[in-house]
Amino acid sequence: MDKPLQLDDAARSILRQNCRGSYTVPTAKLYPFQWNWDSAFIACGLASFDIDRAWTELETLLAAQWRNGMVPHIVFHALDADYCPGPGTWGTEGVPASSGISQPPVASTIARGLYERDRKAGRKRMAAMFPKLLAWHRWFHVCRCESGAVAATHPWETGRDNAPDWDVALAEVDTSRIQPFKRSDLEHVEGDMRPTGLDYDRYMALVQFGREVGWDEEKIRSDGPFRVADPTLTFTLLRANRDLRAIAAEFCEPVAEIDHWIDCLEAGAATLWNPALGAYDSVDLRRGEASGSLSNASFLCWYAGINEPTMLGKLEEVLDKARFGVPSYAPDGAGFDSRRYWRGPVWAMMNMLIGIGLGEFGYAELARRIRNDVRLLILSGGFAEYFDPCDGAPAGGKNFSWTAAVWLAWATPTLKEGNDGIVTA
């Protein structure tokens, strides 16, 4: 059996091994619960060989939806006393227990993809899922879009936990009152691949603030120490709105509200343009200042349906400076670190979204280049959490579910030509 076919089998095996019944953990021990956008990508991979289980992955995630519509970024289906911050630290209500923040809403896009694979088999499940997805999108627009773009209240909410984007905003977070905690992540991954101790102190201070105000969105909006308009949340929600509208039209649901959201987010995305950087950037809403960060999130514009030709040159520059794929942060940036989590490494699923967006706008050569880079990384380094963009070395957690899913849905050369794993417009 040749290497791609072996990796196809290995990827399916990882998804099965990381399955915990009705949900899938990102990887054993390091991330022992269900993570929001991980599960969406995992469903995309599962659909390549078990579409029924793919639907179940999303349904399990949405079963943890809060009454206000928010879908949490972690769902604590089982107990694991070694993980921090666990449910007691978050102090949220509801069963199952969950975190108090959300994550990039790629689930609607993935759900549309599952439905498009088999409309007849998926119709009942899509009909049941639609109102939950609609309520989640509404929560974002009501609670997080005061500037037009989507605001994050915690770096973890963006999915790009320790990106340089947040450095200035996090510097103002008071850590003097945080309660003692133990970092379990350092027991499984080398410290130079993870956020620093100071970063974690600030993360925990933000969790403590949210718990103290009872996760009240109005209080978090007015008094929270961290509120940053984020390209990842903005671009993924804009794309998700477009896909949700397509679902609504398919099911003869009203679309006026969704059309309004799309218009608002298109305008909001424009507020993320940083003329000094010549690219999309995050904006600290407390200070009204751009971060000056050219990240992989900057290149999600095409995925969101925004064709910004200026970004093509930026992307080519970044690809030329990094040997493998689109790094999480520009290699010539002051905060670049090739091995440390979101400060430089290449993430397969972000590259997939960028590649899909480029392909949809006809930038086939760039899309192919990114896909081939990710393919080479996985062929040589396996299903790592992320990869060093300079030498291609695997880093972070091992046997990672969403890397396996990206391989099956998008990167493996055994796919038919043009199959992107996610339905395109």
- Cα separation, 330 vs 320, whole angstroms: 11
Annotated catalytic residue within 161, 185, 243, 373 = 161
- Cα separation, 34 vs 141, whole angstroms: 24
What do you get for the CA distance between the two ends of the chain, in Å?
35
Active site annotation includes 266: no
Coil, strand, or helix at residue 229?
Answer: strand
* List of residues 6+ apart from 213 with CB closer than 8 A: 219, 220, 223
- Sequence-distant contacts of 297-300: CB under 8 A, at least 24 apart: 297/158, 297/160, 297/163, 297/165, 297/230, 297/231, 297/232, 297/235, 297/350, 298/231, 299/326, 299/354, 299/357, 300/231, 300/232, 300/235, 300/236, 300/239, 300/350, 300/353, 300/354, 300/357
Burial of 253 (0-12, 13-18, 19+ CB in 10 A): middle
Angle between helices 310-321 and 364-381 (to 10 degrees): 30
CB atoms under 10 Å from CB of 92, counted, come to 18
Active site annotation includes 385: yes
Closest CA to 406 of 3, 7, 2, 1: 7
* List of residues 6+ apart from 266 with CB closer than 8 A: 238, 306
Strands (E), 45-129: 74-76, 97-98
The length of the chain in residues reads 425
Annotated catalytic residue within 8, 230, 337, 385 = 385
Structure tokens at 156: 């973890």
Q: Which residues are catalytic?
A: 161, 385
